Each structure stands twice: as C-alpha cells, then as structure tokens.
A and B are shown apart, each in its own frame.
Chain A
Amino acid sequence: KNQVEQSPQSLIILEGKNCTLQCNYTVSPFSNLRWYKQDTGRGPVSLTIMTFSENTKSNGRYTATLDADTKQSSLHITASQLSDSASYICVVSSINSGGYQKVTFGIGTKLQVIP
C-alpha cells in the first residue's frame, strides 16, 4: 500500500531559526515528489517538485532534498518568518500501468513560527 509519512506532526520554532521537515514514502513506482504549503483554511500551494533524477531543489528560503534510494525527502526552511506558519504537506505520485498518475498525500507537519 502506498504511504507517505511525515515528521514531526507539529513544530514550534523561533522567528529567524531554521528547521527541517521529514517525509518518508513507500510509493511505487515513483514518479515525483512535491512539497506544498497550506495556510489555515486555504488550499495548498506548491513549493517544490522533484523527479527521480533530482536530489535537491530550492524555492527562496525553502530547500527540498530527495533520496530516491532510501525513499526519503526533507524540506529545509531557512531564516524562518512568521508567515511560514502553516502546514507543510508531502505528496508523492506514481504512474500505474494505465498511465494514470496516482497521488498519495502525507498528513502534513504543522509549523508555528513565534516571535
């Protein structure tokens, strides 16, 4: 069964500090992995997307890494800001034999940045 597990479930950090969120998956066959940011009561917004051949991708203060061998990804946030307070969702896609892209969502990590 395809699964995406994220840790920690929640995290509180001081403004200006860095943090790293983890994502482990058992999705197969792997197609791509995305990190989304979801503000409370809003729809998720894409931060990064990585395919099998990519092991790091940055988007401003957000840097995602991917180790396809160990099936792990991380999202590193540098110099956190209050606006980074949100849930961060790891999403892994696979392609079935019919060419349909199956998407599996993690529960998310709820990050709170405090002054």
Chain B
Amino acid sequence: DGGITQSPKYLFRKEGQNVTLSCEQNLNHDAMYWYRQDPGQGLRLIYYSQIVNDFQKGDIAEGYSVSREKKESFPLTVTSAQKNPTAFYLCATKGTSGSSSYNEQFFGPGTRLTVL
C-alpha cells in the first residue's frame, strides 16, 4: 500500500445519499486516479488528475465527482446519481515523467462501499 491511505475501509450508505471517499498520499506523486473494482471485471477508471487543480473524466465518471485542491489529496464523491455504487474503490498514484516510478501505479488499500 506504500504511502497511500484510503478511508474508511468499509462504508455503508443509504440509497439516495452522497458519500465521500478519502485518498491521501505522501509519495509526492503528481498523478492520482480513482478506480472501481467489481467481481468478474477489470478495474475501471472513474477520474484521474495529473496535476493539482486539474482532473479528467475516466471511462465511468457518471454519478461521481472529484476535487484536487492539494497534491496530497484526491477525494471522490459518490453521488445519488450513481445507479450502482456498491463496489470496491481503489485510489492510485503515479510518479512524474522521468522519475523511476513513472511507469508504475501504486495503489491504496481500497474502500468497500455498500449501498443499503
């Protein structure tokens, strides 16, 4: 898990409520990513940010929102518009071009969100 923390580890939410998942890193990496993992599917990209105050939609951004006000933090909000939010959410970081960690994504421990 390295220097990436995600909290909480387990999260329960009532249908119709927004919820925010935390991701903090101390690796000094510029790029940060949010993925969701569902049984029988590969990781799917929700949002990514390559630099502070900038972020881009991934393949499945609908119903999610993010912010990147600090280099260390990339919180993900799961809104009530997300139709099937129950999943395992993974945050990842990647080093800058030219660094030894450029080609590798480092993953946090994940947050399991369950909608009741």
Contacts and interface: CB of A to CB of B under 8 A. Distances in A.
Interface residues of A, number: 23
B42 A107 contact: yes
**Interface bin, chain B:** 20 to 34
B107 A103 contact: no
B40 A107 contact: yes
Contacts of A103: 45, 105
B104 A49 contact: yes
Contact of A104 (B42, B106, B107): B42
B43 interface: yes
Given A34-B104, A93-B103, A42 B42 contact: no
Central interface residue in A34, A43, A89, A101, by most chain B CB within 10 Å: A43
Nearest to B108: A43
A24 to B, nearest CB: 14
Contacts of B43: 89, 105
Interface in B99-116: 103-110, 112
Given A105-B42, A107-B40, A107-B42, A42 B105 contact: no
A83 to B, nearest CB: 16
B90 interface: yes
Central interface residue in B42, B105, B109, by most chain A CB within 10 Å: B42
A43 to B, nearest CB: 3
Contacts of A105: 42-44
Interface of A: 4, 31-32, 34, 36, 41-46, 49, 51, 89, 91, 93, 101, 103-108
Interface of B: 1, 4, 6, 40-45, 88, 90, 92, 94, 103-110, 112
